[in-house]
């Protein structure tokens, strides 16, 4: 039974990643082993699950129907095993997707207790400031900011994070301190992943919206913050991501009397199957963390 369940998990990973080599890498197998496991499953079923070519791997009609049923069955089995143990201990592999800033400043500092409490749980962190595709990446839980546009997902709001505008003291001495949002038009702007949809400032009932083109465009928030510390300009970021730099004064708030609003943080789970018990438990822990750190 254990071998059959392992084979089914290999099949699901191959189907979702669209690649034997990628699935094998994710599961700690060799590519030939993953291929043999799936081929043996096909022989046992008497049906082809994949159409193979030198350029592509795709599910057959039978494979697509089998995938849906297998994922549901595996989710139910995982939940049943978790309940049967009765200890609350989590097992298996949990694939977690998050941005670099969230991973470094919010997630990793709170993983020690979670992993110590669940010594048989293995966690894979997929760190990327671009949103990962939950299904093809095999993500069990993703932490995302702002609006959610993934129709193949369900979400739970964990809290919100304040947006701030920051710059280095050296840059502000050289370029001058902005006194109002419109002053930013004459400043060097670092365009990171936060604030790509424009900036909105509020003060005493007054609302100002700006869309500024960055002189320096950086895809990772941590690198955008480092650029601001180096004096390359002003960057919009979050209070969590810049907390250390604000504390040691390598960065200071710009337009501190103006509010930039906040952005919601969600735990996102792929739809079509029940969320893993480990994914729900991690979401619970991070929801509690947000109540304490914000």
How far, in Å, CA of 71 to CA of 138, rounded?
A: 11
- 3-state DSSP assignment of residue 71: helix
Q: Are residues 80 and 164 in the same domain?
A: no
Domain-located, residue 134: no
Query: Does residue 48 belong to any structural domain of this protein?
Result: yes
Torsion angles phi and psi, residue 134, rounded to 5? -60, -45
Looking at 54, 86, 118, which one is the last position of a domain? Answer: 86
CA distance 279 to 265: 15
The domain that holds 44 is classified in CATH as 1.10.10.10
pLDDT digits (tens, 9 = 90+) for 46-104: 999 999 887 788 888 888 888 878 877 777 777 677 667 665 678 778 889 998 888 98
Q: pLDDT (tens digit, 9 = 90+) per residue, 200-225?
A: 899 998 999 888 888 899 988 889 99
- pLDDT at site 172: 97
Which residue among 35, 60, 86 closes a domain?
A: 86
Tell me the range of 40-44, 94-98, 209-213, 231-235 where mean pLDDT is highest. Answer: 231-235
271 vs 40 pLDDT, higher one: 40
Whole-prediction pTM: 0.70
Task: Provide the domain count of the chain.
Answer: 2
Looking at residue 259, its pLDDT comes to 92
Question: Picking from 110-114, 143-147, 220-224, 231-235, which range would have the lowest pLDDT averaged per residue?
Answer: 143-147
| Residue 248 resides in a domain | yes
CATH number of the domain where residue 231 is located: 3.40.190.290
Domain that holds residue 19: 1-86
In a domain, 268, yes or no: no
For 158-205, the pLDDT digits (tens) are 988 889 999 999 999 999 999 999 999 999 999 988 766 678 899 998
Q: For residue 192, is it within any domain?
A: yes
Which of 29-50 are b and which e, b meaning 16 or more Cβ less than 10 Å from the residue's Cβ?
beeeebbebbeebbeeeeeebb
What pLDDT, on a 0 to 100 scale, did the predictor assign at position 272? 63
- The count of other CB atoms within 10 Å of the CB of residue 156 is 16
- Do 81 and 164 share a structural domain? no
Look at residue 128 and tell me if it is in a domain.
no
> Is 187 part of a structural domain of the chain?
yes
Q: Is residue 285 part of a domain?
A: no
């Amino acid at each position: 039974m254990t071998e059959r369940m392992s084979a089914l998990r290999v099949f699901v990973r191959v189907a979702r990643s669209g690649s034997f080599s990628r699935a094998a890498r994710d599961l700690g197998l060799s590519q030939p082993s993953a291929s043999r496991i799936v081929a043996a499953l096909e022989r046992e079923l008497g049906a082809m699950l994949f159409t193979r070519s030198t350029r592509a791997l795709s599910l057959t009609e039978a494979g697509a129907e089998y995938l849906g049923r297998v994922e549901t069955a595996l989710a139910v089995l995982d939940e049943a095993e978790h309940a049967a143990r009765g200890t609350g201990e989590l097992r298996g592999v949990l694939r977690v997707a998050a941005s670099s800033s969230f991973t470094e400043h919010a997630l990793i500092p709170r993983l020690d207790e979670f992993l110590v409490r669940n010594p048989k749980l293995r966690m894979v962190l997929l760190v990327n400031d671009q949103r990962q595709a939950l299904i093809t990446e095999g993500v069990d839980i993703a932490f995302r900011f702002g609006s959610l546009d993934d129709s193949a997902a369900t979400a739970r709001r964990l809290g919100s994070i304040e947006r701030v505008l920051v710059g280095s003291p050296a840059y502000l001495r050289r370029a001058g301190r902005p006194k109002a949002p419109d002053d930013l038009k004459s400043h060097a702007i670092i365009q990171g992943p936060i604030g790509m949809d424009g900036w909105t400032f509020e003060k005493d009932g007054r609302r100002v919206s700006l869309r500024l083109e960055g002189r320096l465009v950086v895809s990772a928030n941590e690198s955008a913050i480092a650029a601001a510390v180096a004096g390359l300009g002003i960057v919009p970021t979050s209070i969590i991501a810049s907390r250390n730099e604000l504390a040691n004064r390598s960065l200071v708030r710009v337009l501190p009397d103006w509010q930039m609003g906040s952005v919601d943080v969600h735990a996102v789970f792929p739809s079509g199957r029940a969320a893993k018990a480990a994914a729900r438990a991690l979401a619970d822990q991070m929801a509690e963390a947000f109540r304490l750190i914000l």
